[in-house]
């Protein structure tokens, strides 16, 4: 039971981090000269237009992912009241999903950057 509470807290913090990180990326896209915060890769830093595109898209992805994970994490608490073992599975699934989402968002954004900005290189 204690382990499930710890995982839930970690998932809530990670979900809020995704929401905050997504918003920071969207804001970073609005300041094209500053690449200190945001989605940084060789392609995203190749031009101001690519920087804005990558941060806008990745920020949107992260905000959606963070919101969904937060809802699932909190609903896991309600599930715990009914069936504590099922709640543990929900929380582990959220944790694994968040980890996969980080990798998937980078793959998706890089693919979109390559398709959209391949002529500029």
pLDDT for 84 equals 67
pTM of the model: 0.82
Burial of 38 (0-12, 13-18, 19+ CB in 10 A): buried
pLDDT in tens, 46-85: 888 999 999 999 999 999 999 999 998 888 777 767 766 6
Strand, helix or coil for residue 24: helix
- Report yes or no: 111 and 52 within 8 Å, Cβ to Cβ: no
């Amino acid at each position: 039971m204690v382990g499930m509470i710890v995982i839930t807290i970690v998932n809530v913090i990670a979900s809020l981090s995704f929401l905050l990180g997504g918003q920071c990326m969207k804001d970073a896209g609005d300041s094209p000269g500053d690449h200190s915060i945001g989605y940084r890769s060789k392609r995203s830093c190749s031009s101001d237009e690519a920087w804005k595109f990558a941060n806008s898209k990745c920020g949107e992805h992260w905000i959606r992912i963070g919101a969904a994970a937060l809802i699932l994490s909190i609903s896991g608490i309600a599930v715990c009241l009914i069936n504590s073992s099922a709640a543990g599975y929900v929380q582990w699934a959220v944790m694994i999903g968040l980890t996969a989402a980080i990798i998937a968002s980078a793959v998706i954004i890089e693919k979109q950057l390559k398709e959209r900005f391949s002529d500029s290189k």
